[in-house]
Amino acid sequence: MCAAQWACRLQQQGWHAILLVPPELEEQLRTYPDVREASERAGSAQRIVATRSLTDGGTEASPKEDAGAGSFWMGTFPQWLAAIGSHVAGRLADPDEELQALRGAALRAQLPPAEREALTARDATLYQAFVLGKPKLKDVCYRDDLPRVDRLKAIGVNLWERAWTEKSLKGRLCRHAAARELKEHPPDLPAGARQIVLFVDEAQEYLLIQLEALIAVKDAWERKVRTELVLLGDLNQRIEPTGFYWDSLLEADDKHTQLELVRNYRNSSKVLTLAKRIWDLAQKHTEEVKGRSLPPPAEPVHAFEEGEPI
């Protein structure tokens, strides 16, 4: 909601605002009043320019925006690829197709049938993140899944690539391949845009190479107009083992500004104080058994309210 509101406000100030969100949030955000109004403003601005173009003797509507208005677009990453006319649009494989490719490659690698059947969509993500990608020991998912990744390495990259030449998958692109294409061939600048801001929500669910591709798009657009890329994410809420952690972006982009949002709107100070005591106990046990450390709770001083006594 905060990212959507931020994008809407910038659109009012004349920015070409783009908001990439997960599929499960898109429908909910479209009911948000600010999002509806931003979409209506962007549509009205384009209709005004189209009318002026025809009035001035033009034969077709101009795609450019009104001088005082910005544009607003919200959707998923695949939808955005289609909207910008990327040559990878419509070719992005879904999770089932990625799993099909992995099982096909595992067959060629002569993995036992039971092991092939046990492969999941999560394994397809692990393969792209840590076999096709660059594994880093700093990444907690890589450390936790190291035995699994080592087993996936038995599936050669050449076998993975051959799997995508099968008739049912020919022409399709896995996330890693699509990101590589986008990185090497950034799309053209959006028509009429004078300044662009691209928000990426839940950035922790993207493969590192996907974020590197978005940085490449930002750099290409920035050569022509001011372009800002805003990545919003929380590694503690990561679901997919994507191989992304914040330090990895330092290697991909040395011109970034990093902001840490510390204000906690979910829990009261009383709840966080209790959580800190429980966490301290858990830490002692973790050290004794040499287990995995849990992420610390937010500081009580950053809570939005004091709350009821516990």
DSSP assignments along 178-215, one per residue = HHHHHHHSPPPPPTT-SEEEEEETTGGGS-HHHHHHHH
Handedness of CA 236, 241, 247, 250 (dihedral sign): negative
What's the pLDDT at 266?
Answer: 81
Q: Based on the fold, state whether residues 81 and 118 are members of the same structural domain.
A: no
Q: Based on the fold, state whether residues 191 and 163 are members of the same structural domain.
A: no
Q: Based on the fold, state whether residues 87 and 7 are members of the same structural domain.
A: yes
Q: Which two tokens stand for residue 70?
A: 């910005």
Beta-carbon contacts of residue 237 (< 8 Å; ≥ 6 apart) = 202, 204
pLDDT < 70: residue spans in the chain: 43-69, 135-141, 243, 245, 248, 250-258
Q: Which two tokens stand for residue 97?
A: 């197709």
What is 155-172 written as a DSSP string? S-HHHHHHHTTSTTTTT-
Residue 76 lies in a domain: yes
pTM (predicted TM-score): 0.77
Q: Based on the fold, state whether residues 7 and 87 are members of the same structural domain.
A: yes
**Structural domain containing residue 167:** 95-172
What is the length of the chain? 310
Q: Based on the fold, state whether residues 108 and 78 are members of the same structural domain.
A: no
Place of tokens 């952690």: 245
CA of 105: how far to CAs of 109, 134, 143, 145, 219, in Å?
6, 20, 24, 20, 35
Q: Based on the fold, state whether residues 146 and 281 are members of the same structural domain.
A: no
Phi and psi angles of residue 263, each rounded to the nearest 5 degrees, phi first: -65, 130
Place of tokens 């936790």: 144
In the chain, the number of structural domains is: 3
- Which of 150, 172, 194 is at the close of a domain? 172
Q: Kindly state the DSSP code that residue 256 receives in the 8-state scheme.
A: -
Distance of CA 126 to the CA centre of its chain: 16
- Which of 127, 147, 172 is at the close of a domain? 172
Q: Pick from 4, 69, 13: which is nearest to 32 by CA?
A: 4
Q: Based on the fold, state whether residues 166 and 271 are members of the same structural domain.
A: no
What's the pLDDT at 48?
Answer: 33
Residue 58 lies in a domain: yes
Phi and psi angles of residue 134, each rounded to the nearest 5 degrees, phi first: -110, 100
Please name the amino acid found at residue 236.
N
Residue 30 lies in a domain: yes
Residue 55 lies in a domain: yes
Q: Based on the fold, state whether residues 87 and 106 are members of the same structural domain.
A: no
What's the pLDDT at 68?
Answer: 45
Handedness of CA 225, 232, 139, 159 (dihedral sign): negative
Strands 226-231 and 16-20: unpaired
Residue 257 lies in a domain: no
Question: In angstroms, rounded to a whole number, what is the distance separating the alpha carbons of residues 156 and 242?
Answer: 19
HSE-CB for 196 with a 13 A CA cutoff: 21
Q: Kindly state the DSSP code that residue 59 receives in the 8-state scheme.
A: S
| CB 197, CB 15: distance < 8 Å | yes
Q: The domain that contains 194 carries what CATH number?
A: 3.40.50
Q: Based on the fold, state whether residues 151 and 194 are members of the same structural domain.
A: no
Phi and psi angles of residue 133, each rounded to the nearest 5 degrees, phi first: -90, -165
- Which of 124, 156, 172 is at the close of a domain? 172
Beta-carbon contacts of residue 185 (< 8 Å; ≥ 6 apart) = 87
Q: Based on the fold, state whether residues 24 and 69 are members of the same structural domain.
A: yes
What's the pLDDT at 97?
Answer: 98
Q: Based on the fold, state whether residues 268 and 247 are members of the same structural domain.
A: no
Q: Based on the fold, state whether residues 85 and 211 are members of the same structural domain.
A: yes
